[in-house]
Structure 1
């Protein structure tokens, strides 16, 4: 069963030093790490490496895929299809994304939602960017007022662009859950 997905929007390509720091972060956070291609990783994240103590009775190792995409790095078609329906992002976040990182949980337990948010925040600490987070309508009042919100969307669907600080603050909210 697939789990939640978060997207980090980037204003340009990640330099080789940034990719190396990303790889180092993922290796430190994982009990299993496999580099499928430069910028494409399969791993089992150790939840405790992100500060998650309550794993809900499941193994603390959570399967996740991290994929850097865009021109010159890979998955260009996926990047283009994911951004085809996006409106004017520059007016919302200050740039038009040329690259992105998908953080994809491979399971859908509550701990996987927290791990996905916290791993995405850690990746953003290393390479920058803005998280593009889709929401359910009833989540808008929960996130309103949290720190690190860059922009809020209502059309064509509810969402938030936010910083790593936003993701961490939201993940601490009772009943936290990402949209799948």
Structure 2
């Protein structure tokens, strides 16, 4: 996996009805849609379906994996491993995550960074949660004043936590790029 990754932190398990709404929403944005298991989707997202008109000359169908994980849904070991070196998130986001969604791009062109952020925002519109985005140090002051920001931290590495509104605002910043 060579592209950017965003994580949506969740305070509880996602209800089955919300997972079905997510599935339907993702199927509508994709040229290719494969459900690997309930809550895990291999996609070729139409960049245009997210409002992206400038794809930089690359194919507008971008390969992405969306994977809901945690107890009772799947990938529990990955969920636990990803949290092993995380800071205590409760003081930052107001809860200790019990589940998460990884949005993983398989390519790393500039449009893949935008697709990852906007697709993550679209997923959050359906299931909620707080986006967890690792940052470069020079990005911390840029994101700190954006709408929808919940918290930023620099320890043990720079990261921002925010809403779907935050992700949409960040994409509009000059030189926007996610950290891999």
Give the TM-score range, shorter chain: over 0.9
The Cα shift of 1:30 comes to 0.2
Matched, 1:59 2:71: no
Structure 2 residue aligned with 1:8: 8
Q: Residue 87 of structure 2 contacts residue 156 of structure 2 at CA under 8 Å; is this kept in 1?
A: no
The Cα shift of 1:85 comes to 1.3
Per-residue CA deviation, residues 47-99 of structure 1 (Å, 9 max, x unaligned), is 00000000000110000000000000000000000011122211111110000
Per-residue CA deviation, residues 114-166 of structure 1 (Å, 9 max, x unaligned), is 00000000000000000000000011122121001101101000111100000
SS, match of residue 31 in structure 1: strand
* Separation of aligned partners in 2, 1:85 and 1:160: 16
Once structures 1 and 2 are overlaid, which stretch shifts more, 140-149 or 31-40? Answer: 140-149
Structure 2 residue aligned with 1:128: 128
Once structures 1 and 2 are overlaid, which stretch shifts more, 135-144 or 37-46? Answer: 135-144
SS, match of residue 25 in structure 1: helix
* Separation of aligned partners in 2, 1:49 and 1:136: 28
SS, match of residue 161 in structure 1: strand
Structure 1 residue aligned with 2:78: 78
* Separation of aligned partners in 1, 2:86 and 2:140: 19
Structure 2 residue aligned with 1:18: 18
* Separation of aligned partners in 1, 2:92 and 2:69: 21
* Separation of aligned partners in 1, 2:86 and 2:108: 26
Q: Which runs of 5+ in 2 are unaligned?
A: none
Once structures 1 and 2 are overlaid, which stretch shifts more, 83-92 or 111-120? Answer: 83-92
Give the aligned length: 180
User: TM (normalized to structure 1)?
Assistant: 0.99
